[in-house]
Amino acid sequence: MGRVEFDNVTFLDLSEPDAVPGLSYKTDFFDGGHLSTPGAEKSSAVLASFLAKRYGLQSHRGDPAFSEWDTDVAEHDAYVKKVWGDRYPK
């Protein structure tokens, strides 16, 4: 993953080969520049890992104080399953 620091801002280049493990142009993009749902999840995992390591951010999955997020994720997953059906590579 390419990373550039400029004016106290970090830019991540996730388009470099192997920046996102398992990312496939064949299955993880709608077209040449827009991620599909599986591609977005893979890229989000890389970004989450970077943020956790760089800034010490923690996951709040299952934390009662953030239960609305868990509900939102469940609704999102149900929608994705409805749209993708058995084709969803999760």
Integer CA distances (angstroms), 35 to 31, 44, 57, 71, in order = 8, 11, 25, 24
Task: With beta carbons less than 8 A apart as the criterion, state whether 2 and 16 touch.
Answer: yes
- Write down the pLDDT at residue 55: 92
- For 37-65, the pLDDT digits (tens) are 889 999 999 999 999 999 999 999 899 99
Q: How far apart are CA 69 and CA 4, in angstroms?
A: 31
**Strand-pair partners of 63:** none
Q: Across all residues in the chain, what is the average pLDDT?
A: 87
Tell how far CA 8 is from the center of its chain.
24
Higher pLDDT, 67 or 16: 67
11 token code pair: 């830019």
Q: How far apart are CA 55 and CA 58, in angstroms?
A: 9
pTM of the model: 0.75
